[in-house]
Each structure stands twice: as C-alpha cells, then as structure tokens.
Chain A
C-alpha cells in the first residue's frame, strides 16, 4: 500500500483516525492551557502572598509536581482519583462501579504540571514588575481588581510570555503521554494504525511530522504575540 492510501480517509486508510487523534490532542492541550494558567497564577499569588502557611503549601505543591515524571503524575491522578471517587461512591451506593473520564484526568494531570512550572514564571514576573505600578494604580483610585486586570496583568503577560510559550511547547508534547490512560489522542491512534498495518516507520514518522507542525504553528503564534505585546516598547529610550 502506498503512502497516499495509508493516509486516505476511506475504509482502507487511517486518515480519519489520525485526524480525530490530532483533534483530541489539540482539544486537550487547548483545554489544559486556561486551567493551568489560572492555577499557576493563583499559586504564584499564594507564594508571593503574606500568609506564610499558604505560601509554604503552594511552594511544596509546585516543588513536588515539578519533580515528578509527568507519566507518574498522570498515573497518580488517574488511579488516585479513581480510588478516591470509588471510595466515596462505595460509601454512598455500595456495589456501583464508576469509571473516571480519561480526558478530564489527563487535563487535570497535565494542568497540575503546567501550573507548577507556570507559578515559578509568574512569581518571577510579579517580582520583576516595579512596585510603583501598583502604587500609581492605587493612587489613581483603581480598585485592586481593576488594578490587576488593567495595569498588572497586561505587563505580567508580556514579561512571562517567553516562559509561558515554552511551557505550551512542553504541554503539547506531553499530551502524547495521555495515550497510556487510553485516551484516543494522536499517539494512540497512530499506535492502532501501526498494529493493523505493520508500518511503524511510516506512521510514527508521519506523527512526528504532525507534532512538528503543531510546534511550528505554535511558535509562529507565540512570536506574533511577542511582537504585539512589545509594540508599546518599540523605540523606547
């Protein structure tokens, strides 16, 4: 069978399977991003905050999840959640068995890892922002919320964009790991195609190129965002 046939969308080819895998990979990464960013920001605010207990707890959390292999984190969250929810369900409705949603478990696991690394970037970003920015906002009478949204966040976005962009690349590649908890992402769909066709070099090669394309497109988007956010700083003295 030729390459064209193997990749066709008909009953002979694996095009539609691969496409659905790509779609799931993209959906998972895109859905993880806001969760990871929001949790990362929250952790950073906790770490920077005045409450010692909260700050310590957030630091311990991020240190642990930065150190564990992503694969292990996925297993721990997938099986751990399963055990936990099963225990609750057993107590309430004995005899019922439940299965946890792989997509949500994957999103949660990847999001926790993303947030742990992102918090480090946000902490550095918040510290790099001159104190005078918040002071000027307060002196103008802006509320804390408005000051954060209108003054702090846009500058934080610019400062942390390179780091966060990098995390996005890592996230995109880490989605391949969720194939181990039977999510039909690109990696898993490829493996199914390989086991049916015995064409590993071709299919894994194509899949590598697809991931590469996703990375390149992401890179272009990040570069574009960087140009946009740096517009205000061009020609600065």
Chain B
C-alpha cells in the first residue's frame, strides 16, 4: 500500500464513506416508514388505492435506479420555476438530496413489495381465526398479521438493505461526494489503480458487517420460534 497516496486521498474517501452511510441509512429508514402504507394500499380491496400502489411499485422496480436518479436530478433543473414556487428548490438543487430522494422512493417500492409478499403468504386461517374471535381489521392487522409477516420479511429486507448499500455507488454519477465519487476522483488524479481496490475492500467490509449484524438481529427477533420449530 502506498502511504503517500493514502495520505492524499484517504481523508476524502473517509468522508465519502460517511456520506454513503448517510445516503443508505436515511433512505432505508424513510423507505421503511412509507413501505407499510404502500403495501397495505397494494393489498387493499379498493381499486382506488391498489391500482396506483401497484403502478408505483411496478415502475420503480421495473426501471434502473440510474434512470430514476437522472429523471429526478436533471428533471428538477427543468422544473426549477415550479419547485421555486413551492420553496423546495433548495432541496432539489443539491445532488445529495436528489440522490437521497431517488433512493428513498426506490427502496420504498422494493420494501413494499417484500411486505406485500409476506402478508400475502400468511395462511388464510389466520385472518379467519381473528375474525371469528371478533377482532376488528385493524387489530387483526397489527396484532396478528404484521408480527408474522415481519418475521417472513426479515431476510429479504436485509437483502434489500445490502442491495441499497451497493446501489448507493450510483450517486457518484451525479457527483454526490460519496465513497465511489471520492474513489473516482482519486483515480483520475493519481491514475493509481489500487484506489479502486481500497474502495472494493471498504464496500466488501460494509456489506459483510451489515450481513452479519442482520443475522444477529434476525436471530434475536426469532428466538421464540427456535424451540417451537423442533
């Protein structure tokens, strides 16, 4: 490893790493909050709710994140007038916020689909049992269906978090100063290929840490199921 190189570009890559983590965890957190209502809308019997929800999920899962990011980032420039009028231009003029926005609405679609699939795979008997006990639909959802669905959704949600982490590198294409962008800059200036290897190691470690922490998290949450399964 080249010490001089590390001295020159290390700090910038480190601050890029922080930006990457901000992008990923803020978007995943907000996405988690929005995914549940979206999944419920998608599963709703009212077509007024289910059709738009279905279209939203289809669109954001069926198109590349890069295209969505470009649509928002460059589209915002074209829409400057109206955005200014609503006092949100400060948000959309910033590449970081644009990326955050794009990642959030994207991960919302993926997380909603995971929750929908989990809710849909629960046996009908659960709903019927709850109904026969006279539980209202809200109580049935919150106390009976969701706890079971969340367990089923845990593994795919962890995967989605890892995919988001990897996808965050795309933000570099609209010059958000995150890890990938810092790496590209270091490469452009030094023409040292090893900076890409550093980035690879950092991304690899991040993914491994998230993966392992998620497994621990999963184990804690499903502790009560272990004995029953035997």
Contacts and interface: CB of A to CB of B under 8 A. Distances in A.
Interface stretch (B10-18, B163-171, B213-221): B163-171
Given A169-B62, A176-B66, A176-B67, 18 more contacts: A64-B204, A69-B165, A69-B203, A71-B172, A71-B180, A72-B203, A76-B196, A79-B196, A80-B193, A187-B64, A187-B67, A190-B67, A194-B70, A200-B70, A200-B71, A200-B74, A201-B74, A215-B62
Interface residues of B, number: 38
A204 interface: yes
Interface stretch (B27-35, B75-83, B114-122): B75-83
A67 B71 contact: no
Interface in B117-160: none
Contacts, number: 104
A199 B78 contact: yes
A68 B166 contact: yes
Main secondary structure of the interface of A (DSSP, over half): helix
B74 A204 contact: yes
B49 interface: no
Main secondary structure of the interface of B (DSSP, over half): helix
A89 interface: no
Interface in B83-124: none
A212 B74 contact: no
A198 interface: yes
B208 A67 contact: yes
Interface in A163-213: 169, 173-177, 179-180, 187, 190-191, 194, 198-201, 204-205, 207-208, 211-212
Contacts of B68: 208
A200 B183 CA distance: 28
A157 interface: no
A218 B37 CA distance: 29
Nearest to A209: B63
B71 to A, nearest CB: 4
A226 interface: no
B8 interface: no
A176 B64 contact: yes
A179 B77 CA distance: 22
A207 to B, nearest CB: 6
Interface residues of A, number: 36
Contacts of A216: 62
Given A67-B207, A71-B170, A79-B193, A208 B180 contact: no
Interface in B179-225: 180, 183-184, 187, 193, 196-197, 199-200, 203-204, 207-208
Interface in A58-74: 64, 67-72
Contact of B66 (A64, A67, A76, A177): A177
A9 interface: no
Nearest to B58: A212
B107 to A, nearest CB: 14
A75 interface: yes
Given A204-B70, A212-B59, A71 B169 contact: yes
Contacts of B6: none
Contacts of B208: 67
Contact of B180 (A69, A83, A173): A69
Contacts of A70: 166, 169
B39 interface: no
B78 A208 contact: no
A79 B193 CA distance: 7
B71 A68 contact: no
